[in-house]
Structure 1
Amino acid sequence: MIEIALLAIGVLVLTLTLGVPLPYCFGAALMLMYFVGDVTMKGMMLWGFQQLGNPVLLAIPLFVLAGTIMSESGIAASLLRFVNAFVGHVRGGLGVVAAVTCAVIGAISGSGLTGISAIGPLLIPEMEARGYPRAYATALIANSSILGLLIPPSASMILFGWVTDTSIAACFLATLGPGLLIMVSFSLINLWMSRKFNLVLDEKPHFKAFSGEIMRRGAHAFPALLMPVIILGGIYGGVMTPTEAAAVAVIYAVPVGFFIYRGLRWNNMLSAGKEAGTAVGTIMVMILFSMILGQMFIYEGIPQQLVSSIFDITENKVVLLILINILLFLIGMVVNDATAILLVAPLLLPLMNAIGVSPVQFAAIMGVNTAMGGVTPPYASILYLGARIGNVKVTKVIPPAMTLILLGYVPVVFLTSFWPDLSLFLPEYFGY
């Protein structure tokens, strides 16, 4: 039966690679499993719709809506000006602003697309005017946007926690360490690469003028900075569940956007809602079909057969972790992070348990690998969006993007796999 399961996964990957619409891709894999398996489609569909009623999943559309509102409201621009006050006079400082701002936005929206959508139109032209090549600026901001999938709250970690029955708060904390490390590595690589650019820098301010500017911009950015504090503080303080925190994020973003930053109007509020609704509809259809396919695999005993087959090859933990990372990287190249998690996490969880990797560390391993797929062709949805926003050819964006991935991202992937404390320290510290 494992051969049929692998064939179904192959059909799914092939149809996704060919650009077939997502529901049809899963439908083809489901039909293959249905005709050769012992499960009834009616029973699976009823089970799937019942699972969609889980309140945990409500956090995803709410975080998506909060992210789209934030993109329209001026919150991102305020954060950008505040962070730039610290390093605008430093060579390469504007690139550091991009990485840090995308990390902060990730702590608000839980999405990898919000950073490039909110920051790209503002920062890419500014970086080009300051002497950065436009393709490099686009690649840096696109790569930094994937921090939204790692800096909590993360929509992909909500899915992982739900599908593997792992604490969602623990999953949030597990990816925080790797996410911050990637942010630092991107910043350092940017400072190194900026040496060869002919950059225009701000004048180094005197302390009095500098402190005054920091205070002024900080006061203006305070409502925006308060947003991740409320969300994360509420979750880890035990005051709110992730779903309640997502609702608070929307409730908070609307008046801040309307009355403080005044970037939100009724017309773009409606367009933000429409954009969020379209994204959520696609996500929920994908969740439904991928859940049914995953449940079929479980019903047929595929995870247990997969573990047994892999252990027939090797029982060396290091070799297995390397193979799993390669597998996750390849899957991330052809499907989005949510699809990869919903499809692969239940299959690999028994194997990870068998080799002594906790579900929380597995969440971090899955998170960093699938997030990397967002900027790694052929899927690379975030990279393609960045190229469109930056108005530059994808072929010119790929070389600097690959440099950032190879030097700044891949080392963190292996550190997450082979240094458990990187992902487990914070969850254990908070008692998860």
Structure 2
Amino acid sequence: MIEIALLAIAILVITLTLGVPLPYCFGAALMIMYFIGDVTMKGMMLWGVQQLGNPILLAIPLFVLAGTIMAESGIAASLLRFVNAFVGHIRGGLGVVAAVSCAVIGAISGSGLTGIAAIGPILIPEMEKRGYPREYATALIANSSILGLLIPPSVTMIVYGWVTDTSILACFLATLGPGLLIMFSFSVVNLWMSRKFNLVLDDKPTFSELTTEVTKRGIHAFPALLMPIIILGGIYGGIMTPTEAAAVAVIYSVPVGFLIYKGLRLSNFLDAGKEAATAVGAIMFMILFSMILSQMFVYESVPQQIVSSIFAITENKIVLLIFINILLFLVGMVVNDITAIILIAPLLLPLMTAIGITPVQFAAIMGVNTAMGGVTPPYASILYLGARIGKVKVTKVIPPAMFLIVTGYLPVVFLTSFWPDLSLFLPRLFGY
């Protein structure tokens, strides 16, 4: 049966790579399992639709909606101005602002696309005006946007926790350490790269000038800064579930956008709702189809066969972890993060537990690998969106993006795999 499962995965990957619409890709893989395997499609469809009624999944459309509203509301611009007050006079400081701002926005929206959508139109032209090459600025902001998939709350971790029956709060905490480390590494790489650019810097302020400007911008940014504090504090304080926190994020962002920052108007508010509805519809279809295919694999005992087949080759933990990271990286190159998690997590989790990797650490390993796929061609949805927003050819964005991946991202991928405390320290601190 493992041969049939591999054939179905191969059909899925090939059709996705060729650009076939997503439902047809999954339909082809499902037909392989249906005609050759022993499962009934009717039973699988009924099971899948029933699973979509899980309240946990309600957090996904709510976080997506909060992200689209935030992108239109002026919250992102306020955060940018506040952070830039600290580093605007430092060589490379504007690039650091990009990485930090995307991390903060990720902590609000839970989406990897929100960072580039909210920050890109504001910061890319500003970085070019200050002397950064436009393609480098686009690549830096696009790569930093994947922090939205790692800095909690994260939509992908909600899906992982739901699929693997792992605590969602523990999954949030597991990716926080790697996410912050990636933000730091991007900032360091940017500071090093900035030495090559002829940058225009702000005049270095005196201490009193800096204090005055930070206070002024901090007061203006206070409602925006309060948003992640309310959401994350509510989740980790046990006051709200992730779903309730997502609802609070939407409720909070609407009056802030309309009344305080006044970036929201009825027209773009409705556009944000339509954009969120379109994105959620696509996400839910992906979840349904990939979940049914994954359940078919489980029904046919494919995970157990994969474990025994791999252990027949080697039982060395280091070799297996390297192999799994390469596999996850390749999968992330051709499918989106949610599809990869639903398909791969149930298949590989028995193998990971067999070599001593906990489901919580595996959440971090999957999180960093699938997030990297968002900026790695051929899938690279976040990178393509960044090129469109930055008004630069994708072929020019890819080289600096790959440089950032190799120097700033890959080291964290291996640290997450081989240094368990990076992903497990915070979950253990909170009792998970």
Q: Same fold per TM (> 0.5)?
A: yes
Which residue does the alignment assign to 1:237?
Answer: 237
Code of the residue aligned with 1:420 in structure 2: it is: P
Q: Distance in 2 between matches of 1:293 and 1:208?
A: 61
Q: Distance in 2 between matches of 1:65 and 1:368?
A: 24
Q: Per-residue CA shift, 1:259-282, capped at 9, x if unaligned?
A: 000000110000000000000000
- Unpaired segments of 5 or more residues in structure 1? none
Which residue does the alignment assign to 2:154?
Answer: 154
Which residue does the alignment assign to 2:79?
Answer: 79
Task: Map 1:129-278 to 2 at 5 A.
Answer: 129-278=129-278
Which residue does the alignment assign to 2:365?
Answer: 365
Q: Distance in 2 between matches of 1:115 and 1:33?
A: 38
Q: Per-residue CA shift, 1:213-241, capped at 9, x if unaligned?
A: 00000000010011011111111100000
Q: Distance in 2 between matches of 1:260 and 1:93?
A: 28
Query: Does 1:315 find its partner at 2:318?
Result: no
Q: Distance in 2 between matches of 1:241 and 1:413?
A: 29
Q: Distance in 2 between matches of 1:292 and 1:279?
A: 20
Code of the residue aligned with 2:431 in structure 1: it is: G
Q: Per-residue CA shift, 1:147-182, capped at 9, x if unaligned?
A: 000000000000000000000000000000000000
Regions of 4+ moved over 4 Å: none
Code of the residue aligned with 1:50 in structure 2: it is: Q
Identity of aligned residues (%): 84
Query: Does 1:374 find its partner at 2:374?
Result: yes
Q: Distance in 2 between matches of 1:211 and 1:402?
A: 38
Code of the residue aligned with 1:124 in structure 2: it is: I
How far has the Cα of 1:104 moved from its partner? 0.2
Code of the residue aligned with 1:210 in structure 2: it is: L
Superposed CA RMSD in Å reads 0.4
Code of the residue aligned with 2:418 in structure 1: it is: F
Which residue does the alignment assign to 2:407?
Answer: 407
How far has the Cα of 1:37 moved from its partner? 1.2
How far has the Cα of 1:39 moved from its partner? 1.1
- Unpaired segments of 5 or more residues in structure 2? none
Which residue does the alignment assign to 1:390?
Answer: 390
- Give SS of 2:399's match: helix
How far has the Cα of 1:209 moved from its partner? 1.0
Which residue does the alignment assign to 1:8?
Answer: 8
Q: Distance in 2 between matches of 1:424 and 1:292?
A: 30
Q: Per-residue CA shift, 1:376-420, capped at 9, x if unaligned?
A: 011100000000000001111111101100000000000000000
Q: Per-residue CA shift, 1:305-351, capped at 9, x if unaligned?
A: 00000000000000000000000000000001000000000000000
Which residue does the alignment assign to 1:416?
Answer: 416
Code of the residue aligned with 2:198 in structure 1: it is: N
Q: Distance in 2 between matches of 1:22 and 1:56?
A: 24
Task: Map 1:280-359 to 2 at 5 A.
Answer: 280-359=280-359
How far has the Cα of 1:198 moved from its partner? 0.3
Q: Distance in 1 between matches of 2:20 and 2:234?
A: 41
How far has the Cα of 1:38 moved from its partner? 1.1
Count of aligned pairs between the two proteins: 432
Q: TM-score, normalised by structure 1?
A: 1.00
Code of the residue aligned with 2:98 in structure 1: it is: A
Code of the residue aligned with 1:177 in structure 2: it is: G
Q: Distance in 1 between matches of 2:196 and 2:301?
A: 56
Q: Distance in 1 between matches of 2:38 and 2:6?
A: 17
Which residue does the alignment assign to 2:39?
Answer: 39
